Structure 1
Amino acid sequence: MVTLSDIEAAAARLAGQVLETPCLESRTLSQITGAQIFLKFENLQYTASFKERGACNKLSLLTAEERARGVIAMSAGNHAQGVAYHAQRLGLRAVIVMPRFTPGVKVERTRGFGAEVVLHGDTLEEARAHARALAAEQGLTFVHPYDDDAVIAGQGTIGLEMLRAQPDLEVLAIAVGGGGLIGGVAAAAKALKPGIEVVGVQTRRFPAMVNAVTGSHWPQGANTIAEGIAVGSPGERNLALARRYVDDWLLVDEEDIEQAIVMLLEIEKTLVEGAGAAGLAAVLRHPARFAGRKVGLVLCGGNIDPLLLASIIERGMVRAGRLVRLVVNTRDLPGQLARIAAIVAEAGTNIDQVHHQRAFTLLAAQSVEIELVLQTRGPAHVQQVLQALRDAGFDVAQR
């Protein structure tokens, strides 16, 4: 089992090779949540993820013979880039096996770090099996994304840095997939500060570690926006560490993660992927659990697809009442749309979309349903717009 001495040795090896990221209080998030929130900005690493810590530590421990042969990894995301980047930096051959469905941007970025990318299989398991076969065939060292002591120790250096920067932390809320991050961080934190509480956070759609540790039987989903922690089964080494060091487990929903992504972008001006927002999502979902305490969160990654991010931002605006859909039923007369547009403009809103519906409606033939999507300042502003339209004699409803 990984110990504090292993993690401290990893920290010495990583010095100057990975960024010691800041761990800072977010005063605004603290005010919103009722807890004192400290953020560890691992999304500022060169590959925008904590994964390069474990990869770098593993590669630094290779023998001369292993270095000469090279390494292989299976990953569709952050681990691939971490291994590829540090292998390139250390002058090692790196082969990365990715499933065929991997987005092209991730494939090209991994190739950009000098790795040989092999696309194989339709699932992560098929890709992993092929990577193992290639490792045996070509004598390559397999670098597991989480179930490896050197990788776990590398991730654990985050715990050392957090408690060195903020020694008064009382709780750590850590995203969990295969368990490499929480295994290493919990081992370090509990050794340095036995009274600290470590809380594991999983998405409700992928609760493999929660099920394994607690004996629960939450069903496994098919997809999640937190793909970085969408792991079907935890690593055996990490399972042992979790049972020993993790105090509690929380599940979050997709909308919790979406809300956390938008809040971090708006408030902290920092971009995180779904897994990177899981810790904050837990605090937002379970505020009483953390109220009044000093809480450390790891923003573990910032690699998110721009189209997904755009969708999340738009959905966040809807939830906040800043993007609203109104339906106006009115007589189908020339100038009606112009009147409606003038009213909403006078109320200070901007029209994002407009749609006339004549055929697919139960209204009389001489009537029309006008659907408006408006940009507003929030729920109170929406009510002002509704009242202005009603005062002008329009039949309007919010959908």
Structure 2
Amino acid sequence: MEMLTLEKFEEASEVVKKVTTETKLVYSEYFSKQTGNRVFLKPENMQYTGAYKVRGAYYKISTLSPEAREKGLITASAGNHAQGVAYAAQIFGAKATIVMPTVTPLMKVNRTRSYGAEVELYGDVYDESCEHAYALAEENGYTMIHPFNDLDVATGQGTIAMEIIKELPTVDYILVPIGGGGLCTGVSVLAKMLNPKIKIIGVEPEGAACMKASLEAGHIVTLPSAKTIADGTAVKTPGDMLFPYIQENVDDIITIKDEELIVAFLDLMENHKMVAENSGLLTIAALRHMGVQNKKVVSIISGGNMDVITMSSVVQHGLFARSRIFTVSVLLPDKPGQLVNVASLIAKKNANVIRLDHNQFFSINRNDLVELRITLEAEGPEHKQELVEMLEKEGYRPKVVQPKGTYLS
């Protein structure tokens, strides 16, 4: 097995300084109080390309010969590695072709093109895009810059660990998102080199936990599908070159449900004014699953490239999940003044009406009852319960309406 060496990590740390923004640790009072640990965030979402991926891409390309760079570079990526390779190739003056899944958000496609790369959309998932990229590489003589299954790429990603430990030498735990395993390999190997006592916890989406499945089986496992809103970590097969390093250096893997990412987005945005994409939120959601206290924990926020349409959907779902917004159906006698009465009761409970839907066709007999659906802004679950109980007491027979398409049960 080819070795990842401290000398290579030190070299990479100096090389990537040319293209990275300094992402100093951010102490989180909010997450510290929530978890009983001292929580620090490593905000790689603040990189120029919006993610850590530029580290591995730039370092890998720096190791290539001028001839190889001149022939052209190619990669497959759902977005962040694509932008990292495109940006790094532009700096080196190299042509880059990026194969992206057809479902990649338009924002990521356009950002990749803005760095001068040629983008080809192919396949429904990353794995199909990657297979196509290898075919194009062989056909055209391009050098493949794999998004994770490459030790030079992993070395570049591992420079994050160097920065964390320099800034917080007494760190106890580092939480690392896992897709194919490049970031986790680099961070875990270097962290253990510098301090074997540091615990490395990988974090995967539950619907694409290929590394956890592989570790449990003792060999590389390919999942039948990779279904998750964390598209940057939607990988069916982890890197075989990386797997031995993960086996040796990762202490545990936590899997996260998609709905946990939704509320993690709200927590991060409201308390730190940071936008992180769903894959970047994995380590935020994992904070509540650690089962330790009084430890210094660093969560790597791997990226922040979330398109505004996805963002608006995540915010809405998050507000419903936290009972900050909810819809309740009440039944009213069809006579003047009833709407005013209901609105007055809601106002007395300090709730805000967002939307009203008045349905006079609820009953065949219009002189009987009509339905009023009220979407309210509340302070949380307790306030929501108070409002429902108040409407019940007043005889309006309230029924909380589940919004279509949410993750709520």
TM band (smaller chain)? over 0.9
Q: CA deviation at 1:66?
A: 0.9
C-alpha contact (below 8 Å) 2:58/2:88 kept by paired residues:
yes
Helix, strand or coil at the partner of 1:17:
coil
* 2:247 aligned with 1:243: yes
Q: Which residue of 2 aligns with 1:290?
A: 292
Which of 162, 170, 181 is the equivalent residue of 1:179?
Answer: 181
Q: Distance in 1 between matches of 2:267 and 2:184?
A: 23
C-alpha contact (below 8 Å) 1:283/1:290 kept by paired residues:
no
Which of 359, 366, 381 is the equivalent residue of 1:379?
Answer: 381
Q: CA deviation at 1:111?
A: 0.8
Q: Which residue of 2 aligns with 1:41?
A: 43
Bigger shift: residues 375-384 or 33-42? 375-384
Runs of 4+ residues over 6 Å off in structure 1: 216-219, 361-365
C-alpha contact (below 8 Å) 1:206/1:220 kept by paired residues:
no
What does residue range 155-234 of structure 1 map to in structure 2 within 5 Å? 155-215=157-217, 221-234=225-238
Q: 1:218 to 1:341 in 2, by over 3 A?
A: farther
Letter in 2 for 1:60: S
Q: 1:29 to 1:365 in 2, by over 3 A?
A: same
Q: 1:77 to 1:378 in 2, by over 3 A?
A: same
Show CA shifts across 1:291-348 (max 9, x none): 2211111000001122222222122222222112222122111221222123223332
Q: 1:355 to 1:73 in 2, by over 3 A?
A: same
Which of 121, 124, 127 is the equivalent residue of 1:125?
Answer: 127
Q: Which residue of 1 aligns with 2:325?
A: 323
What does residue range 251-266 of structure 1 map to in structure 2 within 5 Å? 251-266=255-270
C-alpha contact (below 8 Å) 2:319/2:325 kept by paired residues:
yes
Question: Aligned residues: percent identity?
Answer: 38
C-alpha contact (below 8 Å) 1:71/1:93 kept by paired residues:
yes
Q: Distance in 1 between matches of 2:110 and 2:7?
A: 37
Q: 1:273 to 1:362 in 2, by over 3 A?
A: farther
C-alpha contact (below 8 Å) 1:328/1:370 kept by paired residues:
yes
Helix, strand or coil at the partner of 2:398:
strand
C-alpha contact (below 8 Å) 1:205/1:219 kept by paired residues:
no
Q: CA deviation at 1:132?
A: 1.5
C-alpha contact (below 8 Å) 1:175/1:279 kept by paired residues:
yes
Q: CA RMSD in A?
A: 2.1
- Number of residue pairs the alignment of both structures matches: 397
Letter in 2 for 1:247: D
C-alpha contact (below 8 Å) 1:183/1:242 kept by paired residues:
yes
Letter in 2 for 1:58: K
Helix, strand or coil at the partner of 1:88:
helix
C-alpha contact (below 8 Å) 1:352/1:372 kept by paired residues:
yes
Q: Which residue of 1 aligns with 2:281?
A: 277
Which of 7, 10, 17 is the equivalent residue of 1:8?
Answer: 10
Q: 1:256 to 1:277 in 2, by over 3 A?
A: same
C-alpha contact (below 8 Å) 1:4/1:187 kept by paired residues:
no
Helix, strand or coil at the partner of 1:291:
coil
**Structure 1 alignment gaps of length 5 or more:** none
Q: 1:362 to 1:32 in 2, by over 3 A?
A: farther
Q: Distance in 2 between matches of 1:349 and 1:92?
A: 58
Bigger shift: residues 383-392 or 12-21? 383-392
Q: Distance in 2 between matches of 1:166 and 1:35?
A: 14
**Structure 2 alignment gaps of length 5 or more:** 402-409
Q: 1:162 to 1:189 in 2, by over 3 A?
A: same
Helix, strand or coil at the partner of 2:23:
coil
Letter in 1 for 2:12: A
Q: Distance in 2 between matches of 1:320 and 1:361?
A: 33
Q: Distance in 2 between matches of 1:196 and 1:363?
A: 70
Q: Distance in 2 between matches of 1:248 and 1:361?
A: 57
What does residue range 131-150 of structure 1 map to in structure 2 within 5 Å? 131-150=133-152
TM-score normalized by the length of structure 1: 0.93
Show CA shifts across 1:131-155 (max 9, x none): 2122122221110000111100000
Q: Which residue of 1 aligns with 2:371?
A: 369
